[in-house]
Amino acid sequence: MWMEREARGIMKANVTYWLDETVKRVPEKAAFVDEGKAVTFQELQRQAKALASQMIQRDLFKKPVVIYMEKGVDVLVSFMGAAYSCNFYSPIDVDMPASRVNKILEVLSPSLVITTKALKETFESYEYEGEYLLFDEACRGEICEEEIEAARKKGIDTDLLYVLFTSGSTGVPKGVTITHRSVIDYIDWVTETFAVTEEDSFGNQAPFYFDNSILDIYSTIKSGATTYIIPKNLFAQPVPLLEYIKEKKINTIFWVPSALIVVAKLKAFRNVDLSDTLKRVLFCGEVMPNKQLNVWRKFLPDVVYANLYGPTEITDACTYYIVDREFSDDEPLPIGIPMANTEILVLNEHDGLVKGEETGELCVRGTSLSMGYYNNPEKTREAFVQNPLNPFVPETIYRTGDLVKYNEYGEIIYLSRKDFQIKHMGHRIELGEIETAVSSLEEISLCCCLYDEKRQKIVLFIEEELEKAYINEQISRLVPEYMLPNKVITLEQMPMNANGKIDRVKLKELL
Ligand code: AMP
């Protein structure tokens, strides 16, 4: 009895125990598949343990390990290797500019870099003098089971699993730290809510340095599903993309809205029928306009659609809305209600809870919270603060900087980021509200609104050749006159950042 309880307790302390259980059930099933190769759960475990053994032999415990490889199966094996040895991983994009890589290295001071022979040469030009592990050799190495067990026993659930770097406003990237516990809680919620089983197949879009990928990776490892890593170039070709989904029998996708919008824009469903294939369409990371979601819903009415919301700092997502009613094209889609074991506090300017439909900042409380920014106490103190509603015991909340309000159903509606809230001619305006209005126009596919502080102008970026007068006339039924864009800029293509979201930093340079 005692042994059983102990085993259960340990099971919940490290994500690799999920992998051990899954290997027992479905050893030969494909876990992850990329363009070049596939890895079964058993192979994944074996290779990861070989990498872990190398890390343990180097006396690494609770140390940062950089993964520097092209996106693919091997990156995920390396993640698991770090986890088995109770170290924590930080993936660095191979396309990242050298100056940013160096800034990350300065913050992280990694103890080890896992890479390939070819990429090691590139990495050697960065400011790093430490050790390397070459993936191809190390994944075939010997496994020290006892040492791995000892390391996992020493580790606890609040130890770090990964550090993901997001852009910092000061130019110094911030390393968001996430523990095993946070991922375990989140994935328990995902797999229960969406009833994920080994019958399921995910179509991964998110880069592995972007936290949306956590859902695909760990739901797969826990439930014994399969994740297909979709080749990046397919996201620019909707028809081949949908053909890929059909061919691989992918039934679940979790993408950024921009990727779903491209498919809706070209109405690729007319060429490829996914009605017998797709079961769940989940999205997170930016606003999903109802206009494009309505195209998806029209062609695939039986799919479960869910809008997940959250920043990296709270382990991917903290609220969700499973689409359960009709929306007109110009209505906002709710971000919904808190996930299990999560409290959302919507705080007004006086740090009190908002009343009625008052706007406030979304703040989060719960085990999903990051431990803070790695090696950056100052930035950590700014965003992770004492719960102002609890003066009695230390209790941290994360201030997201996102403005929201409740609707009449008690669901949360995302309005905009605090920094996208402007004062224009004395009016307080959420730029997101203008974007929602413009997105609802028939002709518009993607749009983005910025404020030109210097010239005091609302600037709208679109991809279509449309006159400002026409747009303003159309949206004047949706927003007040003072919110009408003062300038419209047509771009051949909206710039996207590495995560696949609209790149507002690049657009700002065009003002
Ligand atoms: P990241 O940390 O890169 O995932 O970015 C998090 C930010 O993306 C949030 O603070 C929001 O501003 C935005 N975001 C994430 N999910 C949603 C969503 N479902 N709807 C609107 N904005 C979102």
Q: How far is the CA of 286 from the centre of ligand 1 (A)?
A: 5
What percentage of the chain exceeds 90 in pLDDT?
82
Which residues lie with the beta carbon below 6 Å from any ligand 1 atom? 166, 211, 284-287, 307-312, 335, 400, 402, 414, 417, 499
By C-alpha distance, which of 403, 471, 458 is closest to 425? 458
Is the pLDDT at 459 greater than 70, yes or no? yes
| Residues counted in the chain | 511
Place of tokens 């439930």: 223
SS3 labels along 140-202: CCCCCHHHHHHHHHHCCCCCEEEEEEECCCCCCCEEEEEEHHHHHHHHHHHHHHCCCCCCCEE
Half-sphere exposure of 425 (CA within 13 A, CB side): 9
- In order, the DSSP letters of 289-341 are -HHHHHHHHHH-TTSEEEEEE--GGGSS-SEEEE--S---TTSPPP-BEEPTT
The residue that leads in pLDDT, 423 or 192, is 192
- Residue 186: both structure tokens together: 């989140």
Give the global pTM.
0.89
- Give 111 Cα–ligand 1 centroid separation in angstroms: 31
- For 311-362, the pLDDT digits (tens) are 999 999 999 999 999 999 999 999 999 999 999 999 999 999 999 989 999 9
| pLDDT-based confidence at residue 2 (cuts at 50, 70, 90) | very low
Q: Supply the residue whose CA is at minimum distance from atom 9 of ligand 1.
A: 311
Q: Give the residue, out of 93, 182, 211, 309, with the most ligand 1 atoms within 8 A of its beta carbon, to mutate for a pocket test.
A: 309
Q: Which atom of ligand 1 is nearest to the CA of 317?
A: 16
Predicted confidence (pLDDT) per residue in 13-35, tens digit: 999 999 999 999 999 999 999 99
Is the pLDDT confidence value at 291 over 90? yes
Q: Residues 344, 363: contact at Cβ < 8 Å?
A: yes
